[in-house]
Amino acid sequence: MIKLAFPRLSFRTWVTIITLILLFVVIFFGWDEISEAWVLLGRVDLLILSLLIPVQLFSYYATGGIIFSYLKAKGNLKNTTHWQMTRMALELNFVNHVLPSGGAAGFSYLGWVLHRHGVGPGRATMAQLIRFLMTFITFVLLLGVAVIVLAIDHQMNRFVLLLCAGIAVLGIGGTLFVLFIIHSRNRLLRFSNWLTYLGNKFVRFFSRGKKVNAIPKDVIPNFFIELHEDYEEIHKDKKILIVPFIWGILANVADAALLFVAFWALGAPIN
């Protein structure tokens, strides 16, 4: 009897396959809306729509500015030009969009690129965590301003208010949890040891017991120790986050401007 040998797929490949399946499901059930959107494209003002390109490029540049302004303040990337940082920001967004992995691909890619510029893995991770934190914190602030404006203008309904509150609570809760873990060295070491155990157990399960200790015991703890040291330095000098915070505001404003331009191009400007 002939046994068929099927190739083993990596975790990232499975994520890509599942993402494509979900994308197909979304297209199937949303086909009526897609057809309507296609009809609306005939009413688009192409000149106004072309404004999306510079706004999107600025959004990418501002997102990169959060990361690179922090690294510059820490003494890294001294010989890196603005053009190189802009290119890295574009590459980061390109990888995140081409490889559907929930941002993990771009996270790994930027860490690899920064390593080539002399940035350690812990600091590269901290820079990307600051990117997420600053983007979210400034988003919540802008969201709060928008909610207040809508409430004053009597255009706020209960569902939108609950949705905004839910987003804020979940995001703030996640941020506080990350800070809770990173703040204590002992707590961070216990978490990293648990993560090492969980990772090895995961690999052992999918390799059918062939790989017992795929992740060495000191790799993740050493990585988190470097992360904790960067956190301690930030805790002592909080002014280092001012410039990333400003870039975070600009990034969110640029993302909101994309929606404004899109509605404007359709002849329905947002006031």
Mean pLDDT confidence for 76-84: 77
> Mind listing the pLDDT tens digit for each residue in 195-248?
888 877 877 776 666 676 777 777 777 777 777 777 787 778 778 888 999 999
DSSP state of 218: T
Report the pLDDT value the prediction gives residue 6, as an integer from 0 to 100: 47
pLDDT at 250 over 90: yes
Mark 218-231 as b/e (b = at least 16 C-beta within 10 Å): eebbebbebbbebb
pLDDT band with cut points at 50, 70 and 90 for residue 65:
confident
First-to-last C-alpha distance (Å) of the chain: 71
pLDDT at 190 over 50: yes
CA neighbours within 13 Å on the CB side: how many for 220? Answer: 18
Mean pLDDT across the chain: 78
Mean pLDDT confidence for 90-114: 71
Residue 149: CB atoms within 10 Å? 11
pTM surpassing 0.75? no
Sign of the Cα pseudo-torsion (48, 52, 57, 58, in order):
positive
Report the pLDDT value the prediction gives residue 270, as an integer from 0 to 100: 67
Q: Give the closest residue to 244 by CA, choosing from 144, 137, 142.
A: 137
